[in-house]
Chains A and B, each alone.
Chain A
Amino acid sequence: MSTQSQSIVDIQGLNKWYGALHVLNDIDLAVASGACVVVCGPSGSGKSTLIRCINGLGSYQTGTLRLAGTTLGLNASETAAARRQTGMVFQSFNLFPHLTVLSNCTLALRRVAGQSRAEAEDIAMAHLEKVRIPEKAKSYPGQLSGGQQQRVAIARALCLNPRLMLFDEPTSALDPEMIKEVLDVMVALARDGMTMICVTHEMGFAREVADQVVFMDGGSIVDHAPVRDFFGPSGHPRSRLFLNTVLKH
């Protein structure tokens, strides 16, 4: 039972149009603190658009989005403070290529959290150890493999100590043999109790750590079920059709 006070994300009646295209259609979604929610669905179904709205990278036309108790968009400084509680991991890593791994992680700590260089580096190193890549602290992103870059991106997002982590297809740009090292880090994070919303097609990951699965199609949430039900025989027919195609690979 997730009441509003326990929900870190509470979305009601969210709608977004690109011109005539209805990309988010009346989305209702509540995510409880500590939950791991996997969002899946065919491409163009609005998954990425939805999680980009949650941390303010994307806009929406109607509906309300409460993040950590703050309704986004009412007050600029409160909105900024709420957004600061989220960390985001992108499909294409988006590390800063001109900065070392360590500087990628310390930039926001120093400029946003206002910490000293030494403090920031201590925090960054702790997170780089958590994602098992401390030895690359002095390397540049271009010198790392895709899997390593994505783990650094996770560490960078964790540095600001977010209460909610958003993952936008974090393994879709990776070679198969690198997917596991990133998923392992995400599994460990979920087991640590981090609240996570993950757009991913990694159904093995969903089975292992997700509490709920949200299935989207055509801008709507078609199915939103506890993970056991989602994969169970009584699952939504549209979800089952999708699972059959995804799991075949």
Chain B
Amino acid sequence: MGFDLAFALSSVPTILGAIGTTLGVAFVSCLGAAALGFLFDMLRRIGGVVGLAIGFVIDFIRSTPVLAWLYFLYFVLPFYGIRLGSLTVGVLGLSLYYSGYLAEVFKAGIDAIPKGQSEAARALSLSRRDALIYVIAPQMLRNIAAPLGNYFVSILKATPYLAVLAVPEMLGRAFDIASETYRYTEPLVVAGLIFLVLALVISHGVKRLERRLLAVGAR
């Protein structure tokens, strides 16, 4: 079974047609995971019972497969009267799953800021809020930019899981073509190459961003 270049090229428009869904799902999921992860890390910092409980939740999320989350949200929640669309479930599942990882990113990003920074802010009589906005947050963003970018790539590569919910993302489209034509090689290779190019471009962008952030006010 050879590789039919003409057939491969003819499958490109159909697969590329889903690039918006793939990127959109990845982007919204990444935002959701970041928001949830930040919330988890903040709650964990309360310590005590709340901190322990949140720590357990984070470990639990990270120790379960993404597919388990997607199936659970899609097939189990309706029994409890919660019926969500497949796209919503997909974004929700990816957000939840990656929030466990991003909580760790925020933890590392905040812990890496020397204690002296908030002490200096307090010594200058800055309010807690101002210290967070003008001193801590900018340094945290600099610390998390690179790992956040890398997780965006991971989330992007996890979007094909949504095929099990029939969300029309790129790999799903490629598989549809394959099923209709019984030619698997070309569409799968095309989809793989598109993912490869996306991941490389984003990684490169993240590296450049990281270099720029490090150049500004290098310690």
Contact = CB atoms under 8 A, between A and B. Distances in A.
Contact of B138 (A98, A112, A157): A98
A160 B120 contact: no
Contacts of B1: none
Nearest to B135: A96
A140 B216 contact: yes
Interface stretch (B74-82, B95-103, B124-132, B172-180): B124-132
Contact of A97 (B119, B122, B124, B219): B219
A198 to B, nearest CB: 15
A98 B217 CA distance: 5
Contact of A108 (B114, B117, B124): B124
B110 to A, nearest CB: 14
Nearest to A87: B123
A23 B120 CA distance: 23
Contacts of B216: 98, 140
A141 B219 CA distance: 7
Interface string B202-219: 000000000000001111
Interface residues of B, number: 21
A84 B127 CA distance: 12
B119 to A, nearest CB: 6
Q: Which 3 A-B pairs have the closest CB atoms?
A: A94-B120, A140-B217, A88-B123
Interface string A171-205: 00000000000000000000000000000000000
A96 B132 CA distance: 12
Interface string A227-244: 000000000000000000
Interface of B: 114, 116-117, 119-120, 122-127, 130, 134-135, 138-139, 142, 216-219
Contacts of A107: 124, 126, 134-135
A88 B122 CA distance: 10
Interface string A76-98: 00001001101110101111111
B126 A112 contact: yes
B204 to A, nearest CB: 24
A156 interface: yes
29 contacts: A55-B123, A56-B122, A57-B123, A86-B123, A87-B123, A88-B120, A88-B123, A90-B120, A90-B123, A94-B120, A96-B117, A96-B120, A97-B139, A97-B219, A99-B217, A100-B217, A107-B135, A108-B125, A108-B126, A111-B127, A112-B124, A112-B125, A112-B127, A140-B217, A141-B217, A141-B219, A156-B124, A157-B123, A157-B124
A160 B124 CA distance: 8
Q: Is the interface of A mostly helix, strand, loop or mixed?
A: loop
Given A107-B126, A107-B134, A108-B124, A94 B116 contact: yes
Interface of A: 55-57, 80, 83-84, 86-88, 90, 92-100, 107-108, 111-112, 140-143, 156-157, 160
B125 A83 contact: yes
Given A55-B123, A57-B123, A140-B217, A92 B114 contact: yes
Which of A57, A80, A93, A96 gathers the greatest number of chain B CB atoms within 10 Å? A96
Contacts of A97: 139, 217-219
A94 B117 contact: yes
Contacts of B120: 88, 90, 94-96
A32 B125 CA distance: 23
Contacts of B114: 92, 94
A140 B138 CA distance: 14
A160 B219 CA distance: 25
Which of B114, B122, B125, B126 gathers the greatest number of chain A CB atoms within 10 Å? B125
Given A96-B135, A97-B139, A98-B139, A80 B125 contact: yes
Contacts of A140: 216-218
B136 to A, nearest CB: 10
Contacts of B116: 90, 92-94
